[in-house]
Chain A
Amino acid sequence: MKILLVEDDSATGRHIVKGLMSQGHTVEWLQDGRDAMAAGLDRSHDVLVVDRMIPGLSGLELVKSLRSASVRVPILFLSALSGVDDRVEGLEAGADDYLIKPFAFSELIARLDALARRPPISNVKNKLSVGDIQMDLVARTVTRSGQRVTLLPREFSLLEMLMRNEGRVITKTMFLEKVWGFNFDPQSSIIETHISRLRAKIDKPFAQSMLHTVKNVGYVLDASR
């Protein structure tokens, strides 16, 4: 995909550009807010990665201006501002996601993937299916190979998130934010615990395992592995 990166720190910028390009993406890298505004108005990018503290125009102003100009491209804030309200402020300005520096590159990739391939909001589905797993979002039931699997509400939410992002890695912090509503990182391994329960119900009784651990990054649901 074509990514617009707005980052004024050369070392960080170079690193991100190199990483994204090695993943096969095209990257346009700008260091000034005003230049980024002009580039963003082209609407030629699939996703924007914006640092909050950039010269010319602050990241917050840039995103607000782009949104008020009806630019609907997914935007991810990449910021060292990690305060209680900074995140909320960023999302309220119109960004779709907020990643705090320092970050693991795998985390950035996972989030960009989730953002860029996010289905349009109008495309609401009542049923999800990955491999032989079927999920009914209305009846809130799950079957695998036709067999009913009983899940607790939170296990259901975990699986729903994995199914919606089939084949893409979901990181622990993404789970924490989206499923638990935690905007902080608890020390305990709560994700590992709940994933292992889910795995015991959805994978263990069946021949093929679909819920895979990506070491040091997160989890992925993939029927083809």
Chain B
Amino acid sequence: MQAVSPLRSAATRLAMVYMALFVGASLAVNVFAYRMVMQFLDDRVNSSVMERYREIASAFEEGGTAGAVKMIESHGPAIKAQETLYSLSDPKGQMIAGNTKLSDVRPGFSILQPSDQHGSRSHYKLFSAQLGKDTLTVGISYDNVKDLATVILVNFGFATVIIISIGMIGSVVLARRNRSRLLSLTRVAHAIGDGELSKRLPVSPRMDEIDILATEVNVAFKRLDLSVSALKQVSADIAHDLRTPITRTFLALEDAANAVSADEMREGIEEAQGELRLITGTFDALLRIVQIEARSRTAKFALFDVGAIALEIFDIYELVAFDGHRHLSIDADRGPYIILGDTDLVRQLLVNLLENALRHTPTGSQIQIIITHDGTSVSLTVADNGPGIPSENFGRVFDRFYRGDPSRTTVGSGLGLSLVKAIADLHDARIELADNRPGLIATIQFLATSKRAEYFGVQPN
């Protein structure tokens, strides 16, 4: 089993990509927010500078330069604290009133850096305009805004660090969870590969894409499990069922080897040959069943009349039955009975049913082939009035090597009806056994042509 390193894990990669995107997005949002806040604060400082300026400007309009000076001086505390700067200068640059001498300030808003003044380390927002011939400059400390900006930046920084940390932890957790889930899937798949075919991949109730995949894979594993157990069953059956004829062959050949006369020897060899023929027949029948079971469904399917096939086989077997002192009849007069299927295999199906009836009925028995059809199905029935099969054994007669006679001394491989079942299954036909009181009724019900054609997507011609 190959373990993927955490760095190569698809889940980790995905989490990393998502985190990078997330951090990028959060940075963009932060920058945008920072700019908005700064803009807003700047506007507020501007408007309070303007407010101070207008106060003095309106005093000037009412009382001229003296009025303006008076208004400036009335702001005593502010003047001392130097939170607000005032400077009213005459055209020659001499300060008439105010707390700080400010010259060469350009009209409109500007910023006063600490380096441009003496004894103050504060930033100021200035507004400067003409009052008559004099120049009035008002300034408000900008430090609050600066501090606030710093706080905001630090905050944003922290936020980004927190986002990255949460993202990192989240992606590690997610990747680890995904990894452990996939690891458990891999472990189970490996176990199945090692032959523990009964194991299944874990499926959570969430039914996400991994669960759907696991469900599908489980279905495939189940089929594999079934066919492997079928194979094991067949192997065991072969080992068990062929042992008897092989033993008989062995004994017959031993007899031949120890024979005292040429005739006795020939007898032993012929007996061995007969047993070998039986063994070969069993192999052939088994192989046929397995191949039919493994066959692709529509491979050799064509439309044909079951009635015609049945008549042909009746024709062959009528005399065989007669010679064996049984009576064979057929009822297939309301044809045609068209089905879609493999002619050769359906022929063998009917032959096997007939052979079975001939073999398991006493002389004097009646055997009937009956074919009927309705709108949806064509039924092929072989009925006899022999001893029948106890209904509790109906389910088992199609098992490989099943024989009513447990001593297995009767002729036949015990595979005839298994082959019937394999052929019926290939045709999606239903097998039904019933009690004929006395006797056995075996019915194979094929889907009618139109239905089957629909089912297999074949156009009837």
Contacts and interface: CB of A to CB of B under 8 A. Distances in A.
Interface string A75-87: 0000000111100
A193 B320 contact: yes
A185 B320 contact: no
Interface string A29-55: 000000000000000000000000000
Nearest to B412: A187
A222 B295 CA distance: 44
Interface stretch (A16-24, A120-128, A176-184, A204-212): A176-184
A82 B287 contact: yes
Contacts of A181: 344, 347
Contacts of B358: 188
| Chain A interface size, under 10 / 10 to 19 / 20 to 34 / 35 or more | 20 to 34
A84 B291 contact: yes
Interface string B309-352: 00000011101100110000000000000000000110110010
16 contacts: A82-B283, A82-B284, A83-B287, A84-B344, A84-B345, A85-B291, A154-B316, A181-B344, A182-B347, A182-B351, A184-B348, A184-B351, A188-B355, A189-B320, A190-B320, A193-B319
Contacts of B291: 83-85
B288 interface: yes
B288 A83 contact: yes
Contacts of A185: 281, 284
Contacts of B348: 182, 184
A83 B359 CA distance: 25
Nearest to A180: B316
A188 B284 contact: no
Contacts of B292: 84
Nearest to A179: B316
Nearest to A188: B320
Given A102-B276, A193-B323, A194-B319, 10 more contacts: A82-B284, A182-B347, A182-B351, A187-B355, A187-B359, A187-B412, A188-B317, A188-B320, A196-B323, A197-B319
A115 B433 CA distance: 45
Q: List the 6 closest pairs (A to B, CB-CB), nearest first.
A: A83-B291, A193-B320, A193-B319, A188-B320, A190-B320, A84-B291
A176 B358 CA distance: 19
A218 to B, nearest CB: 15
A192 to B, nearest CB: 8
A183 B344 CA distance: 8
B281 A190 contact: no
Contacts of A146: none
